[in-house]
Amino acid sequence: MISLGDPEPAAPAKRDRLGLLRDHDFRDLFLSTTVAKFGYQITSLALPLAAVIALDVSEFEVGVLSAMTMIAFLLIGLPAGAWVDRMRRRRVLIVSDVVRALVLLSVPVAWWADALTIWQLYAVALLIGVFTVFFDVAYQSYLPHLVGRDKLVEGNAKLETVRSTAELGGPVLAGQLIEWLTAPVALAFDAVAMGASALFLLRIRRRESKPETARDSKLGAEIKDGLKFVLRNRILASIVACTGSWNFWMGAFMAMIVVFLPRDMGMNPGEIGLFFALLGVGGVAGAFAVGTVTRWVGEGRAVWLSVAVTSPWVLLIPAAEPGWRIWIGALAMAFVGVGAVVYNVTQVSFRQRLTPDNLLGRMNATVRFVVFGAYAVGSILGGALGQYLGARTTLWIAAAGLCLAFLPVFFSPLRNLRTLPDPEPEPAGVAA
Arithmetic mean of pLDDT, 352-371? 78
How far apart CA 356 and CA 315 sit, in angstroms, is 40
How far apart CA 49 and CA 185 sit, in angstroms, is 12
CB 191 within 8 A of CB 104: yes
Pairwise pLDDT comparison (2 vs 257), residue with the higher score: 257
Q: Is the pLDDT of residue 3 over 50?
A: no
423 SS3 class: coil
- Mean pLDDT of the residues in the chain: 81
User: CA nearest 385: which of 396, 394, 395?
Assistant: 394
How far apart CA 361 and CA 73 sit, in angstroms, is 14
Q: Is the pLDDT of residue 149 over 70?
A: no
Q: Is the pLDDT of residue 218 over 70?
A: yes
CA distances from residue 232 to 82, 144, 313, 426, 429 in whole angstroms, order as listed? 18, 23, 33, 11, 12
Contacts of 50 (CB under 8 A, 6+ apart): 107, 116, 121, 182, 183, 184, 187
Q: Is the pLDDT of residue 240 over 70?
A: yes
Percent residues over pLDDT 90 in the chain: 26
Q: Is the pLDDT of residue 353 over 80?
A: no
Arithmetic mean of pLDDT, 94-113? 92
Percent helix, strand and coil across the chain, each to the nearest 5: 80, 0, 20
User: CA nearest 272: which of 135, 175, 395?
Assistant: 175
Pairwise pLDDT comparison (262 vs 163), residue with the higher score: 262
Residue 402 has a pLDDT of: 95
Contacts of 389 (CB under 8 A, 6+ apart): 397
How far apart CA 213 and CA 215 sit, in angstroms, is 6
Q: Which domains does the chain have, with CATH numbers?
A: 20-206+219-416 (1.20.1250.20)
Q: What is the pTM of this model?
A: 0.73
CB 31 within 8 A of CB 206: no
Arithmetic mean of pLDDT, 300-313? 88
Arithmetic mean of pLDDT, 372-401? 94
CB 43 within 8 A of CB 36: no
Residue 432 has a pLDDT of: 34
Amino acid at position 40, single letter? Y
CA distances from residue 399 to 77, 127, 371, 382, 409 in whole angstroms, order as listed? 27, 29, 17, 11, 19
Q: Label residue 415 exposed, middle or buried (CB < 10 Å: 0-12, 13-18, 19+).
A: middle
